[in-house]
């Protein structure tokens, strides 16, 4: 995840164009991006890229989750006419970056500043850093973590252990206690099912993002091959 903070919207859009130019040169791969502006009144405007070949809507992606965490008040529009919103309750796990990274960004992304937020792949950091620093941008980057399957599995296993203990107590309890224990069992089972569903949705979202990236790279390779063939004819 790459975030570059600028002092003006003009510079931010120059930074966006520089990133896409590096992508076009093959120096980096830009999978998706958005420009987030913090206004003096505390409101936030977010505009997503509409360039052909990018993944598409940020909602539901790691990029969208990070925007939601940085976006401030509910109601910040994503895109000029999308009618979508960011802000409110956002699962930090979906952003796939640490809380320290988010806090560092919040400190720098003050009112009247504008950030280019992008999910990128880069073999080395120097090309991006040089271009962004030339434009006066402050660069932040953090490698995206994998879906937290291990943590989810551990938490689900712990809740199942608690449920097993409750079942054992239910079997031995007096009749007047069984109803209360049964109620606790039902509540815990609901939590387990919700956590299982949440873990499944995370994995599926990660798989969709990965497949979208693969398809985008294939399309770019095909387009480059077509251009090469055209120049040799």
Domain map (residue ranges) of the chain = 2-141, 149-232
Model confidence over 6-34: pLDDT tens digits? 999 999 999 999 999 999 888 999 988 88
115 compared with 156, residue with greater pLDDT: 115
- pTM of the prediction? 0.65
The pLDDT of residue 56: 47
Taking alpha carbons only, the member of 131, 109, 125 closest to residue 19 is: 131
155-177 mean pLDDT: 89
The pLDDT of residue 91: 61
Most confident of 142-146, 177-181, 210-214, 219-223: 177-181
How far is 188 from 191, CA to CA, in rounded Å? 5
Model confidence over 48-76: pLDDT tens digits? 655 433 444 555 577 888 888 887 433 33
Model confidence over 31-49: pLDDT tens digits? 888 899 988 887 788 876 5
Model confidence over 86-110: pLDDT tens digits? 444 456 667 778 788 888 998 999 9
105-126 mean pLDDT: 91
């Amino acid at each position: 995840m790459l975030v570059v903070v600028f002092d003006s919207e003009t510079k931010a859009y120059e930074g966006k164009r520089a990133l896409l130019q590096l992508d076009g040169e093959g120096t980096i791969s830009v999978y998706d991006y958005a420009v987030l502006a913090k206004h003096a009144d505390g409101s936030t405007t977010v505009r997503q890229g509409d360039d052909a070949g990018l993944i598409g809507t940020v909602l539901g992606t790691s990029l969208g989750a990070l925007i939601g965490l940085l976006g401030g008040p509910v109601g910040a529009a994503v895109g000029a006419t999308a009618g979508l919103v960011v802000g409110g309750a956002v699962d930090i796990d979906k952003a796939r970056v640490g809380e320290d990274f988010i806090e560092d960004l919040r400190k720098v992304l003050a009112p009247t500043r504008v950030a280019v937020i992008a999910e990128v792949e880069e073999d080395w950091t120097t090309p991006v850093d040089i271009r962004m620093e030339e434009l006066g941008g402050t660069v932040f980057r953090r490698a995206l973590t994998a879906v937290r399957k291990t943590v989810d599995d551990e938490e689900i296993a712990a809740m199942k252990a608690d449920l097993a203990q409750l079942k054992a107590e239910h079997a031995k309890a007096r009749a007047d206690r069984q109803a209360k224990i049964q109620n606790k069992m039902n509540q815990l089972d609901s939590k387990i099912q919700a956590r299982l569903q949440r873990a499944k949705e995370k994995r599926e979202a990660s798989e969709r993002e990965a497949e979208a990236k693969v398809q985008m790279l294939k399309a770019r390779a095909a387009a480059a091959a077509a251009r090469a063939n055209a120049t040799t004819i």
